[in-house]
């Protein structure tokens, strides 16, 4: 199997249930060069057309690691109007299996983002208890095209995450308790990223020189 080639790992069966393609997964893990290397699974969830595939494609170009890294794109999984139950299950599955779970949001973390996160965590927690798995290991919030703060990157993200936690904690009762718990962990982080620039968002090379300067340094 050619490294970097997309592979569909989860399919819908005739009844609309989720089915893991174990043969495809085995091919990914057993291909030449992987051997007994540790496995790291990076998954990204978020609304449609918010740059998830762009991010994963960029990671593929830059990935250099002595680890077997699986990049999982849950494209369309937050289209809850299409099939809410399947969408929630797919996102919960990605959380359970991922080493790093990225929640990709636009401009700022909004209540609908937290509502989605709450639902996914609820399902992941129930299923995780049955299999002895943590609902989520590492949770990163990636806020795209941010313009609400002059401070960007990890520092701006920490400020934004602190604001989100304070907003959730001030609710009585808290509407999203599991989201608050997950976002309060030391393993949860947030990053504010500006618009990357027209050259990199419309091009196909993904080179550093195509980035706007503030995006490259964020």
- Predicted TM-score (pTM) of this structure: 0.81
Query: Which helix (H) or strand (E) covers residue 183, if one does?
Result: helix 177-183
Is the pLDDT score of 206 beyond 60? no
Residue 127 contacts residue 92 (beta carbons within 8 Å): yes
pLDDT in tens, 131-152: 899 999 999 999 998 887 889 9
Distances (CA, A) of 114 to 48, 80, 118, 142, 204: 16, 14, 6, 13, 32
Domain 10-217 in CATH 3.40.50.300? The answer is yes
Determine the average pLDDT of the residues in 96-120. Answer: 92
pLDDT in tens, 67-94: 778 888 776 555 555 577 888 888 898 8
Residue 50: pLDDT band (50, 70, 90) is low
Determine the average pLDDT of the residues in 11-34. Answer: 78
């Amino acid at each position: 199997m050619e490294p970097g080639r997309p592979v569909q790992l989860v399919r819908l069966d005739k009844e609309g249930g989720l089915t893991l393609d174990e043969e495809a997964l085995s091919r990914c893990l057993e291909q030449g060069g992987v051997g007994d290397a540790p496995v790291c699974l990076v998954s990204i969830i978020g609304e449609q057309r918010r740059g998830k595939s762009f991010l994963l494609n960029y990671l593929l170009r830059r990935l250099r690691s002595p680890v077997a890294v699986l990049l999982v794109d849950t494209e369309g999984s937050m289209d809850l109007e299409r099939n809410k139950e399947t969408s929630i299950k797919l996102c919960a599955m990605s959380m359970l299996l991922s080493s790093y779970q990225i929640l990709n949001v636009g401009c700022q973390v909004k209540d609908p983002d937290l509502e989605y996160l709450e639902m996914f965590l609820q399902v992941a927690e129930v299923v995780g208890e049955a299999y002895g798995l943590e609902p989520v290991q590492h949770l990163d919030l990636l806020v795209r095209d941010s313009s609400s703060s002059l401070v960007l990157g990890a520092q701006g993200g920490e400020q934004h995450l602190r604001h989100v936690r304070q907003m959730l904690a001030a609710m009585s009762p808290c509407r999203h308790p599991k989201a608050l718990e997950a976002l309060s962990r030391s393993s949860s982080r947030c990053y504010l990223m500006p618009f990357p620039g027209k050259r990199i968002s419309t091009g196909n090379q993904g080179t550093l020189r195509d980035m706007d300067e503030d995006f490259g340094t964020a």
